[in-house]
Structure 1
Amino acid sequence: MELLLLGATGAVGREVLDMALADPSVSRITAPTRRALLPHDKLHNPVLDFDKGLPDADWWHADALVSCLGTTIRKAGDRAAFRRVDHDLILMCAHRAKTQETPVMVLNSSVGANPRSRNFYLRTKGEIEKSLQKLAFERLVLVRPSLIDAQRDEPRLAEQVSLLASRLMRPLTPARYRPVTARHIADCLLRATRGDAGVSVIESEKIRSAGA
């Protein structure tokens, strides 16, 4: 399988990349990033300035596209900048892949994603899910993890506090809202590239079993 990976420098994306590089069934990974990744025989790493647009290139064609792209409002600077990454950039990349006849897309979304949510973050996640469905990939899988339990390059205080509280309250927390590790999510995303045609959703409580 040839894999196209977006967001390879993030917590989940790094796990997907490591797993894909170690997987003998994956022959090639194309991972466009803003900064260069460590070289590997199976890795093609176009270094792009996404703010200047996307190149026309044959590497947009793959057997499957996995998107782990995402930021935070704090890191992006404001809501508009956040949406440009978590909706617009994902959609533009997906459109390029679709026009190059990539048949499968798997999106790392979020628990509670809903285009009609009052919460801006969840509404944006829901809107990108809806936008991707309109592209009509042969297979589209929307993976909706809860809070991601991972080591971050940049500490996120609110996330760390939430993770600590979630661990303490785990026995009382519904399965859907318990933290899930970046590695479990990555395993699920990769396995989701294979399967029947159509649109499917993997909610957070199913991520471990989907990636088992």
Structure 2
Amino acid sequence: MNVILFGATGMIGRGVLRECLRDASVTSVLAVGRTPLGVSHPKLRERVQPDPSDLSAPDLDPAAFDACFFCLGVSSVGMKEEAYRRVIYDLTLAVARPLAAANPRLTFVYVSGEGTDSTERGRSMWARVKGKTENDLLELPFQAYMFRPGLIQPLRGVPSKTRLYRSLYALTAPLFPLLRRIAPDLVTTTEALGRAMIAVATPGTAVPGRVLRTRDINRLGTASIRHN
């Protein structure tokens, strides 16, 4: 499996990258972003560019990938809807459309979040924008899956880029084992997210639908990993 990964410098993307590099079914990973990862691995290539959605480079063939794991996002705190939409909707679809046109067999996994508004008419700005993004991705001619995790526990030293979130994770880390016992359908991990993405992109995996919530992610993420 050849993977193109967006958002690998973030908490979720970093966890997904780790699982891709560990899994023998993943042959190569191209990480596209604005800043270097600072990671070296035989399977990993990086493309650092100001516009992550620019897939026009001569050495970048959109048809060469089996899966796209799209983990790129931003917190909506303090943002106006227009600015948030440019990052969440415009950037995502600018990547997805040429990939779908080049390879309808590609699996595209998009990370939104629990509470995403599929009606696009709710009061929550971030939920409307992500709902619109999900809906339009599902209309494209490839195999798209929407991941809607709830609480995410970062594992294996994977940090959040947001200072506030880092502080919250540090404070709540002792509670995660308890939360996972009493509310397993509300809490997942960066490790489970990465494994679940690989699972849905693997031919023959039984996937319960196109929109996957925490329970589905955890079930798919418990599949045994194929180590290199």
Q: CA deviation at 1:96?
A: 2.0
Greater percentage in helix? 1
Residue 14 to residue 206, structure 1, CA distance change in 2 (3 Å) = same
Distance 1:189 1:101 in 2: 18
Distance 1:105 1:17 in 2: 15
CA contact (8 A) 1:2 1:27 kept: yes
Residue 159 to residue 127, structure 1, CA distance change in 2 (3 Å) = farther
Distance 1:71 1:166 in 2: 26
Residue 74 to residue 59, structure 1, CA distance change in 2 (3 Å) = farther
Q: CA deviation at 1:165?
A: 11
Q: CA deviation at 1:148?
A: 2.1
Q: CA deviation at 1:174?
A: 5.5
> 2:225 — aligned with what?
none
Residue 126 to residue 157, structure 1, CA distance change in 2 (3 Å) = same
The answer as to 2:153 corresponding to 1:149 is yes
Q: CA deviation at 1:195?
A: 4.1
Task: Please list every run of 5 or more consecutive structure 2 residues that lacks an aligned counterpart in the other structure.
Answer: 223-228
Identity of aligned residues (%): 28
Which residue of 192, 200, 204 maps to 2:214? Answer: 204
Which residue of 119, 127, 136 maps to 2:132? Answer: 127
CA contact (8 A) 1:7 1:70 kept: yes
Equivalences for residues 159-174 of structure 1 within 5 A: 160=168, 164=172, 167=175, 170=179
Residue 119 to residue 12, structure 1, CA distance change in 2 (3 Å) = same
Equivalences for residues 70-89 of structure 1 within 5 A: 70-74=73-77, 77-89=79-91
Distance 1:3 1:84 in 2: 24
Distance 1:81 1:90 in 2: 14
Residue 131 to residue 203, structure 1, CA distance change in 2 (3 Å) = same
Distance 1:29 1:165 in 2: 30
Residue 170 to residue 27, structure 1, CA distance change in 2 (3 Å) = closer
Amino acid at match of 1:10: G
Residue 172 to residue 104, structure 1, CA distance change in 2 (3 Å) = closer
Q: Which SS does the other structure have where 2:48 is aligned?
A: coil
CA contact (8 A) 2:6 2:31 kept: yes
Q: CA deviation at 1:55?
A: 3.8
Is 59-68 or 190-199 further displaced after alignment? Answer: 190-199
Coordinate RMSD, CA, aligned: 3.0
Equivalences for residues 95-110 of structure 1 within 5 A: 95-101=97-103, 103-110=106-113
Residue 157 to residue 63, structure 1, CA distance change in 2 (3 Å) = closer
Residue 8 to residue 165, structure 1, CA distance change in 2 (3 Å) = closer
Equivalences for residues 1-212 of structure 1 within 5 A: 1-37=1-37, 38-50=39-51, 54-57=54-57, 58-61=60-63, 62-74=65-77, 77-101=79-103, 103-114=106-117, 115-137=120-142, 139-150=143-154, 151-156=159-164, 160=168, 164=172, 167=175, 170=179, 175-176=184-185, 178-195=186-203, 200-212=210-222
CA contact (8 A) 2:20 2:194 kept: no
Q: What are the Cα deviations for residues 39-73 of structure 1, in whole angstroms up to 9, with x where unaligned?
A: 3321221111118x614133323011111111112
Question: TM-score if structure 2 supplies the norm length?
Answer: 0.78
Amino acid at match of 2:210: S
Distance 1:157 1:18 in 2: 20
Amino acid at match of 1:48: Q
